[in-house]
Amino acid sequence: MELALRDMGLDASVMAAIHDMLDFSDDTPTSERSRHGPSRAFVRDNKAIKNTAADILEYPNSYVFIVDMPGVGPDQIKVQVEDENVLVVSGERRREKEREQKEGVKYVRMERRQGKFLKKFELPEDADLESIQANYQDGVLTITVEKKQKPEQKRPRTIEVKVG
């Protein structure tokens, strides 16, 4: 395919962009990659963010983030807080290459999502970063972030003014 595209007169920078969009492996020599375009890691991360489905719910006392991560084992999921208020959820689902090589299996059709899962959420100011809990069940990751308790507002105290 690559030779056919080169035969059409596409230069190295266009070829590198096509590789990035199609998420080809990193076997292109560095000299042929575009130096002005986004890096492959940037393109892959943005693609993963766009393709990772998530819901956010707000309850009176918490925020709940629900992320679909089918086929990813709980040991392959990472939940972190970066930059003091950004919740980052990542994981990766890979093909079973060992089975293919060992048993001579070939894919006839591949439609299920492979590759990185990535989602970033900016947490509100009232999020309690010390109370984050993550639960993974049936391909769905549920992260609960409690809200900080608001300090009770004290009622103004009236002080009697005495004469004399």
120-151 pLDDT tens trace: 999 999 999 999 999 999 989 999 999 998 77
Rounded to the nearest 10°, the torsion over CA 139, 133, 91, 107 is -10
Task: Look at residue 55 and tell me whether its pLDDT is greater than 60.
Answer: yes
Beta strands in the chain (DSSP E): 54-58, 62-68, 78-82, 86-93, 115-122, 133-137, 140-146
Q: Which pLDDT belongs to residue 70?
A: 84
pLDDT reported for residue 98:
57
Q: Does residue 39 or residue 19 have the better pLDDT?
A: 39
Pick the more confident residue, 1 or 120: 120
pLDDT at 112: 72
